[in-house]
Chain A
Amino acid sequence: MSSRPGATALSAARAGIAAIWCGTLMAAALTIDHPVGLLALLAAVIWAGWLAGAGQQLRKASRFALPLALMVVGVNAIVSRDGITVVARLGQLPALGRLDITLEGLVYGAVLGLRVVLVSLAAVLFTAVVDQDELLGLVRRRSGRFGLAASVAGRLMPLLAADGARMAEARKSVPRTLAVSRFDLVSSIATGALDRATDAAAALELRGLGEGPCLAPRTYRPWSRHDFALLTSSIACCVLVTGALIGGWVDFQSASSIRAAWGLGLAVTVVVLPLVLVAPLFERRGVGG
């Protein structure tokens, strides 16, 4: 999970702009409630990931995000008392009291689960295609220590992933009778995370990252077509989502009963939103790799 500079418009653009684009995607995922709207955003993330050559990372992330989403659906169905359409009666349970599974609870859980998947995949896309070093350089100009903390956080995941890959490789060479379980492997990586974070922090300190704000003069970098395109895409996405929310095109509620907006407004939103988001990624001029 490390960035691939030069592979797509997202990585060719300045990191701040690419981060704004990814942030817009996540903000839209957190703002829209309509499941069709969320599915449109999911399509946009997958499409963008595929165009950016991050399909492999998204596939890997979905192995974690999908079970998490299913867990969210299950927990919400059990915890939520909202909804009038009972689909299953589970009787009285000691700690939970009367437990009925309602359609509304399941649907709301599904919306939350979809949102979890979307935000996870958008975050993975961000990690995969945005140049983290350039972004951290921007942060460092404001606060050295914050930059260091962000650097550690940003580098820890790839570091742990590499550790895990190495340990999994080593596991293959151990005879079957002595082999450690997958759980032991995960446990070892998880418990070693703090040590690895300290290692990463120490290495970054040695490079002077914690010495306060960077005083090096800024180098002027002209705005590229990708910067303009991604910024325009982000603004257009914000305008479209805001308009859809104000216009009630993506209204959805599933508290007591399921009520959703269906109409031309929703159709326009779900068609235009992915196109607006993905359009800048079709521009390949000036993109390396």
Chain B
Amino acid sequence: MTSRGHLLGAIALGLSATLIAAGCGLGPGSQTGQVTLVVTSDFGDRSIGKTSAETATESETAMRQLQRARTVKTRYGGRFVQSIDGLGASSSSGHPFDWFFFVNGIESTVGAADVTLRAGDNIWWDHRDWSAATHVPAVVGAWPHPFTGGAEGKRLPTRLVCAPSSGSQCDKVEATLAAVGIVSARGLPGIAGKGSGLRVLVGTWDEIRADPAAAILLGGPGDSGVYVQPSPHAMGFDLLNPSGQRGATYGAGTGLVAATVVGDALPTWLVTGTDNRGLALAVAALNLKSLTRRFAVLLTAGGRVLPAPMSPESR
């Protein structure tokens, strides 16, 4: 072989190595693991088709997973969803409806075609009224995500932020997280900086209300993405309807499990109550049965688990 041949061979070899290192290759790539797809409407209230789980490949995106399972129309060159199973962006009684999706309980900020799926990911598409909240940055309905799945394939550190008097309830939350394989560190309320990982804020409302992630609830769903607000008149929580209007007020002994985001930080879960009784209900609700397919839940003194925003059944 001539020196020119050697040079060309070396260039070809180097180029191939670079392409392989950059994740290039032919075909869909090797299998990575199971991914789950949930499609609902009205804030998870109505299920559209069955929840499906399939084995993903290296090249699987949220869009391809959806296109494989459902009849999908796209827009902007296949980057965004126009309709799923014939249900698309619409307007009803002046309320706009559209599709939004969560990856492991965290709202995606990019189009579905740009979300690469990893083993264990939970993708939840919901067709909802977005008149009150354009963005719902995080939801609790993918439990035990995002604690187990994290974001972009990386498990995120979890910090348990406990109010001073919530010791025993905090221990229970820690044990619940440990049961799903999460080792959490403990911290104090009031710190919600960028890159500090996922936070679980545990305490009665009065104890945690000064934390930025709790205080954001006062701004309503437009700010927090949570359709529950602390009642301005009495100790309790106002459960809002999808339009962001107050539906009902729940007083003493009410618990709340919700998730929100402050600025560009990672999500903070609020496990709180109007009092210790409400807090205990909230802590006890950290399970699949209470949280699955819910944006947030309100636990009443009577033992009811109410989805937030208010569903037609709870009106």
Hey, which bits of chain A sit against chain B, CB under 8 A?
79-92, 97-98, 100, 105, 255-257
Contact = CB atoms under 8 A, between A and B. Distances in A.
B37 interface: no
Contacts of B72: 255-256
A260 to B, nearest CB: 16
A84 B68 contact: yes
A103 to B, nearest CB: 11
A98 to B, nearest CB: 6
Interface residues of B, number: 27
B73 interface: yes
B77 A86 contact: no
B107 to A, nearest CB: 19
Contacts of B68: 84, 256
B26 A255 contact: no
A87 B27 contact: yes
Given A86-B28, A86-B59, A89-B58, A255 B78 contact: yes
B67 A257 contact: yes
A81 B78 contact: yes
Interface of B: 19, 22-29, 57-59, 61, 63-64, 67-68, 72-74, 77-79, 111, 113-114, 116
B114 to A, nearest CB: 5
Contacts of B29: 86, 89
A249 to B, nearest CB: 22
Nearest to A88: B26
26 contacts: A80-B78, A81-B63, A81-B77, A81-B78, A81-B79, A81-B111, A82-B67, A82-B77, A84-B64, A84-B67, A86-B28, A86-B29, A86-B59, A88-B24, A88-B26, A89-B23, A89-B24, A89-B29, A89-B59, A91-B22, A92-B23, A97-B114, A98-B61, A98-B113, A100-B59, A255-B74
Contact of A98 (B57, B78, B116): B116
Contacts of B28: 85-86, 89
Nearest to B65: A84
A266 B59 CA distance: 35
Q: Which of A79, A90, A100 has the most CB of B within 10 A?
A: A100
A82 B23 contact: no
A104 to B, nearest CB: 9
B73 A79 contact: no
Given A91-B19, A92-B22, A98-B116, A83 B27 contact: no
A91 B114 contact: no
Given A98-B116, A100-B59, A257-B67, A86 B27 contact: yes
Contacts of B24: 88-91
B25 A98 contact: no
A206 B78 CA distance: 53
**Top 4 A-B pairs, shortest CB-CB distance:** A82-B78, A81-B78, A81-B113, A256-B67
A84 to B, nearest CB: 5
A74 to B, nearest CB: 15
Nearest to A98: B114
Q: Which residue, A81, A88, A98, has most C-beta atoms of chain B within 10 A?
A: A81
A84 B19 CA distance: 22
Given A89-B26, A89-B59, A91-B19, 4 more contacts: A84-B68, A86-B27, A86-B28, A87-B27
A141 B59 CA distance: 60
A123 B63 CA distance: 39
A82 B19 CA distance: 23
A266 B234 CA distance: 71
A56 B213 CA distance: 74
Contact of A89 (B25, B67, B114): B25
Contacts of A255: 72-74, 78
A202 B28 CA distance: 60
A193 B57 CA distance: 53
A89 B78 CA distance: 17
